[in-house]
A and B are shown apart, each in its own frame.
Chain A
Amino acid sequence: MVNFARGGVEGSTETMLVNIGPQHPSTHGVLHIMTELAGETVVTAKPVIGYLHRGIEKLAEQRTWQQNLVLCDRLDYVAQFSNEWAYCRAVEKLAGISVPERAEYLRTLLGELNRITSHLIWYAGVTMDIGALGTPFIYAWVAREKIFDFYENVTGARMMPNWMRIGGVRCDIDAALLADMREFLVSDFPKECDVYEALLTGNEIVVSRMKGVGAFTVEELTDWGVTGPALRASGSPLDLRRDAPYGVYDKLDFEVCSDGAGDSLARARVRLREIRESAKMCVQIIDMLPEGEIQTKIPRALKPPEGDVCVRTESPRGELGILVASDGSAKPLRFRVRSPIFYNLSAMPHMLPGHLLADMLVIFGGIDTSMGEIDR
Chain B
Amino acid sequence: MRSDLVGILSIHGTALHGLGFDARAVVTREAWRDCAADLQMAGARFFDITAIDRGDSVEVILVLIDPPATHFSLRASCPNEDLRLDTLSDIFPPAEWGEREVFDLFGVEFDGNPDMTRILQPESSTIFPLRRSFVLEQRPW
Contact = CB atoms under 8 A, between A and B. Distances in A.
B76 to A, nearest CB: 15
Interface string A318-338: 010101010000000110101
Interface string B45-76: 11110101100000001010101110101000
Nearest to A227: B47
B41 interface: no
25 contacts: A50-B120, A57-B130, A58-B134, A93-B19, A93-B20, A223-B93, A224-B94, A225-B94, A240-B69, A243-B68, A244-B69, A307-B20, A308-B52, A309-B19, A309-B21, A310-B63, A319-B47, A323-B50, A325-B52, A334-B50, A334-B53, A338-B50, A346-B94, A350-B93, A376-B120
A308 B65 CA distance: 17
A343 B130 CA distance: 20
Nearest to A344: B94
Nearest to B19: A307
A23 interface: no
B19 A53 contact: no
A276 interface: no
A55 B129 contact: yes
Interface of A: 1, 49-50, 53, 55, 57-59, 62, 93-94, 222-225, 238, 240, 243-244, 307-312, 319, 321, 323, 325, 333-334, 336, 338, 342-343, 346-347, 350, 375-376
A313 B17 CA distance: 21
B28 interface: no
A30 B73 CA distance: 33
- The 10 A-B pairs at the shortest CB distance, nearest first, are namely A309-B20, A225-B94, A243-B68, A346-B97, A244-B69, A338-B48, A50-B120, A53-B120, A336-B50, A334-B52
Contacts of A58: 129-130, 134, 136
Contacts of B5: none
A74 to B, nearest CB: 15
Interface residues of B, number: 36
Contacts of A376: 120
A222 B45 contact: yes
Contacts of A224: 93-94
Interface of B: 18-21, 45-48, 50, 52-53, 61, 63, 65, 67-69, 71, 73, 92-94, 96-98, 105, 118-123, 129-130, 134, 136
Q: Which secondary structure dominates where chain A touches chain B?
A: mixed
Contacts of B20: 93-94, 307-311
Contacts of B63: 310, 321, 323, 338
A336 B94 CA distance: 17
B94 A321 contact: no
Given A342-B97, A346-B93, 9 more contacts: A50-B119, A53-B121, A310-B21, A310-B73, A334-B130, A336-B50, A338-B47, A338-B48, A347-B93
Nearest to B105: A57
B119 A312 contact: no
Contacts of A93: 19-20
A84 to B, nearest CB: 19
A307 B68 contact: no
Contacts of A343: 94, 97-98
A308 B119 CA distance: 25
B121 A50 contact: yes
With a 10 A CB-CB cut-off, give which of A240, A323, A338 has the most chain B CB atoms.
A323
Given A58-B130, A309-B21, A323 B69 contact: no
Nearest to A323: B50
Contacts of B134: 58
A57 B18 CA distance: 24
A343 B119 CA distance: 13
Nearest to B65: A312
Nearest to A46: B115
A312 B47 contact: yes
A310 B120 contact: no
A234 to B, nearest CB: 14
Contact of A240 (B50, B68, B93, B121): B68
Nearest to A306: B19
Contacts of B123: 1
A193 to B, nearest CB: 28
Nearest to B52: A334
A346 B120 CA distance: 13
B52 A310 contact: no
Contacts of B21: 309-310
A58 B45 CA distance: 28
Contacts of A55: 129
Nearest to B122: A50
